[in-house]
Structure 1
């Protein structure tokens, strides 16, 4: 698709938003998908002037501001906040006029048609974008890995979605979820540390986020105590033993019942991948297992892709291909850049004039 100026790509995540230009090989802007309003409002928005902060600016004011996430479980839950985030991305982060740029917008595999129509209304009627393309995150992640058929394993902040993709289209009836994602990891670590008498007060989220970065997964649970030992240094210099937390939080992906001590409805990651593949036609399974793409922030946990391959192979008794990337956290965004350069991508764009003439009908035709 040919535009006079580089296309803008926006990947909406529940925890992090990635944005940039199709001509680049990495997002220009990455920040927390969070909006902050003063605590004294107590939900009474619009009655008097106040400052709204977005991303890291909002988190820096956590003591005085109420924070809310416009994206929940991969879907937009608060449209006014999401509109503010998009406005912030275009004008302040990327410093572009939306009237001059086509936009590629990522969507969750469960995004409804009504939500896609609402996105078009915001971009065409409020932001005056000349052209918009909405693409599912699993498809974009496969594009970034050089495939159009395969299995996307998206390990996000509040959902883990396993989506089989065939020739650039999501097989929605085979979509699976594990009911265990980044937020559950943080909650598990927090509960475990509290049981041991550690309470970090208002800085809890920041400290838990740093501890989360130390999670790892082993290919073999038999390991020496010395290799198992982990500590985290608090801002006041105190050292906290987090050996159990960072090991068990990672192991939850593969042995949830063992870690929790009971069945809480959490599906192990490899079982979810296998189940999703088995829901598809038998002729497709070989291609799906030959291109398993972990992506999202949690896929960066050391050892996770290797263990996933081991567990799947032991279950189905055949080799599989796990495609790893050093930028798995931004794989959907990178796939958007690949998609923007495809010669046939122009067939899927919606232009402002088309939306004005045909409305929701053309959205249904283009973004099924």
Structure 2
């Protein structure tokens, strides 16, 4: 840490150690690189925990688009502030801080002015696998590492009383599911179904239950039925069969990251119901719906949702901590990342893997 602080004080590039893949087919290995210098409004975070998101797998394996290699994934980051720029007002040394899926945007377009930085019309800078036009077009590296430099405007304040081991997944899984529930104005008594019961699905269930909804789950099998029912879920279905399921839903929130058929989920909506898509399968696995289905199953809405802006992410985190809403996690060290990826891909993972970075570097 002493070296990082010296580099921060000298306004030079900051050394970092992490875990990277060299190609879409490679395994993870130790990797040394540098972060951009600490700017006047930047903070330097010592990363304590980094969550593993299914989108990390898609990016690392170039399943959405060609990746930029070597790649250090990770956009679920929780840590401690160890240095601050001279103009920083939001943080002080010793504070907990989090970083989610993005680290910069223009701040001037309409989405940015409306606190929807994820939709920046001039291009959001993602936490990894992205070109940072604000710092000489360097490639961004993510949270599978020992530190990160980020503008205070894109860092999330983490309350001291938070369960810091479980905070990291909230910065993606939390906001990704919290945001559409708020967008669809879910309230007490609404019927909500969550499709997919992994890391995202679990958070969606917890938030929907807290909002007072009656919640059901669709999963690929019934292996997690006991856990779902213990949470307060009404029912877990292993198939979205409209002929067998009597319930019709105000909202179905799909977190499914693999190929599936949208049509039966549309049939399970009430008239006026909404289907929110947050899971994104590989681009080769096209998921679509016939226009005739939309016409003959009319007056139902389908929309996509992409994380949330910084303001809403802070709201989500404060709400989560205040209401003790956290993911179920399994702590691992970085040498187990490849194992975690395989378990997530094959449906063997219980819920969310979190890398203990202090034991990994």
TM-score by length of 1: 0.26
TM-score by length of 2: 0.26
- Going by fraction, where is helix more abundant, 1 or 2? 1
Structure with more relative contact order (C-alpha pairs < 8 Å, separation 6 or more) = 1
Larger CA Rg, structure 1 vs 2: 1
